[in-house]
Structure 1
Amino acid sequence: MTVAEAELLDYDEVVERYDPVMGMEVHVELSTETKMFCGCPNRFGGEPNTQVCPVCLGLPGSLPVLNQQAVESAIRIGLALNCDIAPWGRFARKNYFYPDQPKNYQISQYDEPIAVDGYLDVPLDDGTTWRIEIERAHMEEDTGKLTHLGSDTGRIEGATTSLLDYNRAGVPLIEIVTRPIEGTGARAPEIARAYVTALRDLLRRLGVSDVRMDQGSMRCDSNVSLMLKGATEFGTRTETKNVNSLRSVEVAVRYEMRRQAAVLEAGGRIIQETRHFHESGYTTAGRSKEEAQDYRYFPEPDLEPVTPSVELVERLRDTIPELPWLTRKRTQQEWGVSDEVMRDLVNAGAVELVSATVDHGASSEAARAWWGNFLVQKANEAGVELDALPISPAQVAQVIGLVDGGKLSNKLARQVIEGVLAGEGEPEQVMTDRGLAVVRDDSVIKAAIEEALAANPGIAEKIRGGKVQAAGAIVGAVMKATKGQADAAQVREMVIAACS
């Protein structure tokens, strides 16, 4: 049963009486060509059950073969998180009786993960950092996908039919687990969001995953418990599963803190369980939380141990790029923009796109304007991430070049970009095919001005009398007559000249 909003403890009272303790488990699908243990393609969005084979369907007699690229990606993630890379480790079978795992077990790493004992210094909005200690990062395979039909919530409760898609079964997955995060106080929800944000940015910079939370390639489980101020023993934790947006991470932590505090203040006890997050901002009970022994782990007999050499680890260490937030700080200084402007660009996912557009010859100011405003609007209309729009930084730079060269106005440039987004070709081709180039023929503009002045003699008389602000109406008429393809500044000059 959901705790009603009126029954939730006020957040200020929560942090006055209790210390929150968090633990974050983030699952990341790797962008490999094939799945973790077979040659099936690893692609999002295929027709259900078309990217499967005997191995990922768990058919008798099939044997797994480890994906080398997935192992190297896991090592790079571990190195980027300042982890120690294990020189030897085994996979295990995690027995998991659920229909989205056709083998009835998941191949995972249990007590011998690929990476251990790391940390990530997470940048916060106030310019400080918070160190999050990483307990482990381990390799495993993803499960299939269940779609429940007939229920109001989309969950199995009340469903009349459940559909299974095994395309995702066997996709390479890295689970990154933090140590308990203590001492955050009132900033716990903010720090939870900042950690997942930093991790997403880091993984994207590594190029190991597209980290699309909206598509499930990055999913967060947030563990939260409360202990009374001054206590030394952790409270009972709950685990909110599969939170799929940065905002939702923050909202889920805040809600659980308020809900648990309300239960404790009423004399109740917290049940160790998984909980479902609802996008309207609350959690509901799932199932009782299993312990490790419930999964009956044992070594996977069909896979050899993972034994990365020192030479391989050092070669991969050389591929680790600069942390994205350090790059952004340097870029911010180069662009000369405020913290607020940079934060807006970061939140929009525009920084790397702007940088790439600048690399193709555009000014940073123009690139920021297009990516941070018009294209963000287009992404929101399409319901996709900014970098998923079908337009490249090179194409945006071409549009900016056409504007700078006087071939397009900003208004016409927006139409060109819409044409590129619609798949009509490169910017110059769209401009030509749609007939959008700025009209530079003075005779054409002059004829349109004369016609507009003749149609509006009163306005023409005001301009001649020195009220040049009245020229705006004539400019508007000329722009309409030329379908917006005349240069408005040039038209205004010609209008005033014609009336002098």
Structure 2
Amino acid sequence: MTAKLIQGYEVVIGFETHTQLSTHSKIFSRASTAFGAEPNTQACAVDLALPGTLPVMNRGAVERAIQFGLAIGAHIAPRSIFARKNYFYPDLPKGYQISQFEIPVVQGGSVEFYLGDEKKSVRLVRAHLEEDAGKSLHEDFIGQSGIDLNRAGTPLLEIVTEPDMRSSDEAVAYAKELHKIVTWIGICDGNMQEGSFRCDANVSVRKPGGELGTRREIKNLNSFKFMQQAIDYEVRWQIEQIEDGHAIEQATVLFDPDTGETRAMRTKEDAADYRYFPDPDLPPLVIASEWVARVKAGMPELPRVMAQRFASDYGLSDYDATTLTQSQEMAKYFEACARASGQAKLSANWILGELSASLNAAGLEIGHALVDSLQLAAIIAALHQGRINGAGAKALFKEIWSNEQERAGQASDAPAQIERLIRDKDLGQMNDSGELEKIIDAVIAANADNVAQYKAGKDKAFNALVGQAMKATKGKGNPAQVNELLKKKLG
């Protein structure tokens, strides 16, 4: 698909994502990585860079990098190098950051996702291990700043893409898919508010087919909503600058959600400015093929593999299968519902429709759904078997969702619970053709105008007659039977 042009310009976006790895201790020390501790209570001598201390590699961080590489189909380097990235900032105790430069641990790979119903793929350049810096705390009310080194040394996996994205919609879809992957395989908790998943967007514009434009890097985007707003503003700003005859200067910028604008923070550095060189305190990281094989054997079924299985085993569309694997909780809910009801497509429709709408309205994740998978399966089975109609199924769903007493019975036998509710709420579908015929005869007799309009070729009149018939059955009529009998009697 041709990239969407904005005022005759093509947008070019690449991402750098800092993913905080889910280890209990830091990448080069045994200090805790727990969030929310009092400032400077989780920084040991290694993190503070006291004289005589040496870094020791955290095996768990390496394993998580291997997991990610396997998840995206990348090359796991059998030998990678740690380097010193030199810059001076108050929250960087050593005066340099231990990172990887020339030979990263994860090389290549791609992330695939859907943008609407169009399949997209973003190529990755690399993913490398590094340590996080500390945090500067600015106390405006007393005019002072402090340094909290609790975060210093926290293990990060920096994931870098090629400049493959062409719109803010595509960038957000990529970021959501990446977020899904790292949380799915358990290498990151994905908490954007706590800084566990931080995205930097490199944005530039160019005339179609022209050379890449000068990029500006939007730092630390900590929500998908702000990510889209920041990119959209930056694109408009760059186009306006170029149209006014100004050159774009490479820079690092911040997004202000209060104003909806980006503002320059500093001129962007290039790699040469950091004076990278191999860290003499850390030997090369050697990853044997046997280690990779062990990690692979312990990996969960990946979302793209599960989506392919859902499509082949359950006859779902690629789009539905991909949507149902947005999280492990949703995938487990669907599979339990499909197996218990025997109706995969109906289960998918209900989960992506009624259930998702109810979750969104209540602000809940599917792991806290107020109708469990076996209850929904029992509703779907009753609907498929013709014991209730669509209206009755929705009424059952709403009754359980809104009734705390019914929800408390989730551990009981779901089919028995649904049968009781059908009986108690008088929701059973009317399938008796004789009884339906009497009702339809009465509806035809009472709606002569609609009958005449239908016979004159007005289809809307038929729908009105169906509505009257369903109303007369108190919503319990079998819709297919009602339609069939009406057409038969109207000739």
Q: Is TM more than 0.5 here? A: yes
* Selected match of 2:124 from 121, 128, 134: 134
Alpha-carbon shift at residue 372 of structure 1 (Å) = 2.6
In 2, Cα distance between equivalents of 1:419 and 1:60: 64
1:122 paired with 2:113, answer: yes
What corresponds to 2:393 in structure 1?
none
In 1, Cα distance between equivalents of 2:315 and 2:60: 39
CA spacing shift, 1:344–1:77, aligned 2, 3 Å: closer
* Selected match of 1:372 from 350, 356, 371: 356
* Selected match of 2:24 from 33, 40, 48: 33
Alpha-carbon shift at residue 217 of structure 1 (Å) = 0.9
SS in 1 for 2:130: strand
1:14 paired with 2:14, answer: no
1:278 paired with 2:256, answer: yes
* CA contact 2:81–2:278 (8 Å) conserved in 1: yes
What corresponds to 2:443 in structure 1?
none
* CA contact 1:52–1:166 (8 Å) conserved in 2: yes
What corresponds to 1:167 in structure 2?
150
Alpha-carbon shift at residue 82 of structure 1 (Å) = 2.3
Percent identity, please: 38
CA spacing shift, 1:414–1:91, aligned 2, 3 Å: same
In 1, Cα distance between equivalents of 2:328 and 2:361: 13
Alpha-carbon shift at residue 263 of structure 1 (Å) = 0.1
In 2, Cα distance between equivalents of 1:417 and 1:145: 45
* CA contact 1:123–1:325 (8 Å) conserved in 2: no
* CA contact 1:213–1:244 (8 Å) conserved in 2: yes
* CA contact 2:113–2:177 (8 Å) conserved in 1: yes
Question: CA-to-partner distance for each residue in 1:29-85, whole Å, 9 max, x for gaps?
Answer: 111121111112222233333322112222222222111011111122123222222
**Aligned residue runs from structure 1 range 280-429, under 5 A:** 280=258, 281-328=260-307, 330-331=309-310, 351-352=330-331, 354-355=333-334, 358=337, 365=347, 372-379=356-363, 386=365, 391=368, 396=372, 414=401
Alpha-carbon shift at residue 118 of structure 1 (Å) = 2.5
What corresponds to 1:145 in structure 2?
135
* CA contact 2:334–2:373 (8 Å) conserved in 1: no
SS in 2 for 1:210: coil
1:205 paired with 2:180, answer: no
In 2, Cα distance between equivalents of 1:285 and 1:373: 40
Q: Number of residues paired by the alignment? A: 409
SS in 1 for 2:295: helix
* Selected match of 1:196 from 163, 175, 196: 175
1:94 paired with 2:85, answer: yes
* CA contact 1:360–1:397 (8 Å) conserved in 2: no
In 2, Cα distance between equivalents of 1:242 and 1:174: 15
CA spacing shift, 1:170–1:205, aligned 2, 3 Å: same
In 2, Cα distance between equivalents of 1:312 and 1:290: 37
For 2:152, the aligned partner's letter is A
Where in structure 2 are there 5+ consecutive unaligned residues? 381-395, 413-419, 422-470, 475-491
Alpha-carbon shift at residue 210 of structure 1 (Å) = 1.6
What corresponds to 2:390 in structure 1?
none
**Aligned residue runs from structure 1 range 226-241, under 5 A:** 226-232=205-211, 234-241=212-219
Alpha-carbon shift at residue 355 of structure 1 (Å) = 3.8
* CA contact 1:108–1:138 (8 Å) conserved in 2: yes
In 2, Cα distance between equivalents of 1:236 and 1:370: 46
Question: CA-to-partner distance for each residue in 1:93-148, whole Å, 9 max, x for gaps?
Answer: 21232222222221111112112232233332223233x22111100011223333
Alpha-carbon shift at residue 306 of structure 1 (Å) = 0.2
What corresponds to 1:489 in structure 2?
none
1:245 paired with 2:223, answer: yes
Alpha-carbon shift at residue 258 of structure 1 (Å) = 1.4
In 2, Cα distance between equivalents of 1:249 and 1:326: 28
* CA contact 1:222–1:240 (8 Å) conserved in 2: yes
CA spacing shift, 1:13–1:25, aligned 2, 3 Å: closer
What corresponds to 1:262 in structure 2?
240
For 2:107, the aligned partner's letter is V
Where in structure 1 are there 5+ consecutive unaligned residues? 1-10, 152-158, 381-385, 430-438, 441-468, 473-500
* CA contact 1:416–1:427 (8 Å) conserved in 2: no
Alpha-carbon shift at residue 169 of structure 1 (Å) = 1.7
In 1, Cα distance between equivalents of 2:44 and 2:312: 51
CA spacing shift, 1:417–1:69, aligned 2, 3 Å: farther
In 2, Cα distance between equivalents of 1:100 and 1:127: 43
CA spacing shift, 1:360–1:347, aligned 2, 3 Å: closer
* CA contact 1:108–1:140 (8 Å) conserved in 2: yes
Alpha-carbon shift at residue 172 of structure 1 (Å) = 1.0
CA spacing shift, 1:116–1:402, aligned 2, 3 Å: closer
What TM-score, normalized by structure 2, do the two folds share? 0.69
Question: CA-to-partner distance for each residue in 1:287-326, whole Å, 9 max, x for gaps?
Answer: 1111122222222222221011122223334445544145
In 2, Cα distance between equivalents of 1:341 and 1:100: 46
